[in-house]
Structure formats: C-alpha cells, structure tokens
Structure 1
Amino acid sequence: MNRVVHPIEVESYRRMRARLDTSHFPPLTRAVVERVVHSAADLDYAGDLVLDEADLEKAHAALHAGAPVVVDVEMVGAGITRRETVCRLKDAESGPGLTRSAHAVRLAYEQVGPGALWVIGNAPTALEELLTLDADPALVIGLPVGFVGAVESKAALRESGLPAVSNVSEKGGSAVAAAALNALLYHPTSAEEKL
C-alpha cells in the first residue's frame, strides 16, 4: 500500500534539502537521516547520527518480513505509523538496581524473543538493559535523550557491535527514534519499487 504524502511534508522536505545535501548518502541511510532531521527540524542530526547501510538493509528486510517492533515508551510507539509495536512499560516495576524501563525491556524480550527491531528514544536504562540480553536484534534504534546516561548508553550500543542507529550527542527522544523506524517502514521494498 502506497503512503499518501501530504503537500506540507513535500514542501518541508524540499526546504530541508535546499539547506542540507544528503545526495551522497546511500538510500536507506539517506531516508533515515532525512526523516530524523525532518522530525526535529535539526540539521545537525546529519552529522550526529551513526548508522550503517548494510545494517539498515538487513533491518529493512526483517521489518517488511514482519519482525516485531519493540519500543521503550508508548510515546515512541505512538509515533510509529503503519505498524503495531510492543511496549511493556505499563507491566513493569522498578526494584533495587532496576528501573521500570529496564524491567520493561526484560518483559518485552520474554514476549518477542530474538530478531526484533528495538526502538529506544526515552530511557538510557532501557538501552543499557537491552545490551545485557542475548536479544540478537534485527536492529537497535538507540536514541535516548538526556544529560544522564544517554551519551554513555549510545556509546555502549556502538561498542557492542549490534546493528544499530545511534547518535553521539545527548540529543534524541521519542520523535526522532520513531522517525528513524518510520524511514525504514516508508522506504519501498524491491517488490514495491518494481510496481
């Protein structure tokens, strides 16, 4: 099913591209960078994001083949269109040395198992917990925001060697994490490109 793009979005992308040249990026990288920049109206994301085209290609295939999408908070899930998400934060409890967000990641992993796409835009502790699991993710979009733990958790994600989208600054958040996933959702598959 083709997505209908509103004229405001078309004009917004035109203006963004007039200020930011993304033509040198490979297709999926370009899609993610542009959608994240668009979602935040922040051109600096083009130099702040860390991503790999080969990882994105595998994640794109997994996503379009039906791999589960897990989010750390419902706000991330609300921003992801055209796809159901798993969020276990309402079921989670905090305890000694464990935040609700970290417990929610454990619960979600028990539910979906390996091979999911994980979208973390709020809680660094959720990302930290995911890195302790044997989740074998299709992709981790690790873009938690904040001044405590966000930079460190994203650095740990990059050091883990897992397929990932992250950034090097404190910036991030639900909207940009959802935007990164939506970029993969909206990008056509090879079968759709032939239509």
Structure 2
Amino acid sequence: MLVAQSQPMAVDPLLDQLQKQYQTVLQQMIKLRQTATALEGFIGRDQACQSVQAEALAQLRQLAAETETATAFTEDLWQQLDAAVPDHPEHFQEALFRLLPDLSQRPEIEVDVLSHLVLACGDVSLATFVRFSSDAIKAARETLSAGCTIVGDVPAVIAALDQPRLTHLGCQWATLLDNPHIDSAADAEQQFWQDNGWHQRLRDLTDGNIWMVGYAPSVLMKLCEAIETGVGRPALVIGLPIGFSHAPAAKRRLMQLSVPYVTTESALGGGLLAAVVLNRLAASLIEKPDCHCYLGEAN
C-alpha cells in the first residue's frame, strides 16, 4: 500500500525549483484539460443530439465561446445539452470521427487499435503518444497466425485478453510474475525484485513470443536487456508499463531496439491498454485476414 511520507525530505534548491515549475505547468494542463473536456462534451454529440446542439451553438455565439470555452459552458447549457442523452445509446464512432486527430496516413489496423485505446481510457490525446514500429502489425499478424504464446507481466494483463479469439487462433498465454494478488504497478515492481524465479521464466519465454508489459517497468527493462544480450528475440513487445521515471526510460530503450513494438512516449499505459492492443490485433486478423494496409507507404 502506498502511504505518504511522514518526515519531509531535504530538497535540493534546483529540484525544488523544478517541482514548482512542474506544479505551474500542471495547473496550466488542468485548465486546458477542463477546456478540452468541455469541447469534447459538445463536439462529440451524435446526430440524435443535434437539435439541442444547434440551440446551444446559438447561445455560445452570444457568449464569445472562442475565447472562454470552458466558462461559457454554464450549468444551464449543460442541462439543455444533456436533455437528449437518456433517449438513445451513445454513438462512439461519431464522436471519435469528430475528436480524433487526422489519422488518414495511418494503416487501417493501426487506426482501429488507436480508436479502441481512446475508448478504453477516455483520453483522446492518447492517440498522439502511441508509437508503432514499422513492422509491428506485420509481426503481430504473422505470429498470431502461427499460434504463438502471449506472455503478460502479471495475471491481470492476461485476464483482460480476449481468450476465445486467441484460442481460435491456436494461441496460448503465460505470466511472468504469476501472483494473483498483484493489483498495481507498485505491487508488480515489488514482486519482480523479490521473486528470483523470473530469470529462468524470462529466458524460457522470450524467443518468438508476444510480450505484453502493462504494469512493471522493471520487467520491460529486463526484457530489453535480454534482447540486447542475445537471450532471445520476442516477435512483438507491447510495452505499456505504468510509472513516471522507470516506465518512460524503459519505453525509450524499447524503441531503440530492432524488435517490433507498440508503446507510448509518456508515462501513459496500463494492463488494460496493453490487452486492448493485443485484442484488437487478434480481432483484425480474424475479421480481415487478407488486409494488407500495413504494408503500404503509410507504414
């Protein structure tokens, strides 16, 4: 369990200055996020809500929303916009079409993965930070077709897999840190450093398999080290551990390797997102086995 430290730590003056700068930037990000949330709630309305949206637009023109978007969305305006919500299901694809950045140069399968990642976390900006190696989709489809083993860092990642689809493809799955009580990145890191048995399991499971790291950054770091030292070469690494220093460092190290990968250029990640990537790659293989969009110039 994470607890606050009871005794203040001695802080270097430069570090203190950087912390204050971070808090200033964070407050700016919060204000921008509030504005983005307001815009998402408005722009993401589907056709069934367009009548009330048109009325709201007329009000916003009078409120000079171009310069005060977040504050212009008053409680009365939200009540008016939300009045049509209970009458129909939400149409997610319409919202994504309006809100996602231009992905027209991306392969169709990659766009599908990105769309589902955004839906899984509710953060449209995530699409900007996800990175696919040029050979990631090709490697995933070839390896899944061959009935590979999928290795997760913790049981929670494996539990989120679409196991019926993977069984249909003849795939199996395994866990590096096989402790069902791991329920956070902090637990996963602690278990990793306490459990010496992972050394042999990593050696046995590295070569030719798909790896999903969604919790422990140290797992991804050691996997990268295994690749660099010739222990084995995974067919694909979905590297999305959680963390604020080790995780970004592990992801940068992964992107420097000549191995297919999907990762993010940030602290963003998690076991659910790692499973979403693998599940959508498996689904696209079953639904569109002859798709070759990933072999075009866009990839």
Q: What is the TM-score normalised by the length of structure 1?
A: 0.80
Letter in 1 for 2:158: G
CA distance in 2 between partners of 1:191 and 1:158 (Å): 28
CA RMSD, Structure 1 to Structure 2 (Å): 2.5
Contact 1:88 1:107 in 2 (8 A): no
Letter in 1 for 2:175: C
The partner residue of 1:141 within 223, 238, 248 is 238
- Give CA-to-partner distance per residue, 1:25-47, whole Å, 9 cap, x none: 11222122122112111111211
Partner of 1:154: helix, strand, or coil? Answer: helix
- Give CA-to-partner distance per residue, 1:39-62, whole Å, 9 cap, x none: 111111211011134321122221
- The aligned counterpart of 2:296 is none
Say if 2:261 is the partner of 1:164: yes
Higher helix share: 2
**Larger-gyration structure (1/2):** 2
Letter in 2 for 1:114: D
Contact 1:121 1:174 in 2 (8 A): yes
CA distance in 1 between partners of 2:234 and 2:173 (Å): 15
Q: What is the TM-score normalised by the length of structure 2?
A: 0.54
- The aligned counterpart of 2:50 is none
The aligned length equals 180
- Once the two structures are superposed, the pairs formed by residues 4-153 of structure 1 within 5 Å of their partners are 11-20=91-100, 21-82=102-163, 83=166, 84-90=172-178, 100-101=191-192, 103=196, 105-133=198-226, 134-153=231-250
TM-aligned CA distance change 1:151 to 1:53, over 3 Å:
same
User: Could you list the runs of 5+ residues in structure 2 that have no partner in the other structure?
Assistant: 1-88, 167-171, 180-188, 292-299
CA distance in 2 between partners of 1:113 and 1:170 (Å): 24
TM-aligned CA distance change 1:118 to 1:25, over 3 Å:
same
Contact 1:150 1:170 in 2 (8 A): yes
Contact 1:151 1:169 in 2 (8 A): yes
TM-aligned CA distance change 1:130 to 1:104, over 3 Å:
farther
Q: What is the Cα deviation at residue 190 of structure 1?
A: 8.4
- The aligned counterpart of 1:95 is none
Letter in 1 for 2:191: R
Bigger relative CO (Cα 8 Å, ≥ 6 apart)? 1
User: Could you list the runs of 5+ residues in structure 1 that have no partner in the other structure?
Assistant: 1-7, 92-97
**Identical aligned pairs, as a percentage?**
27
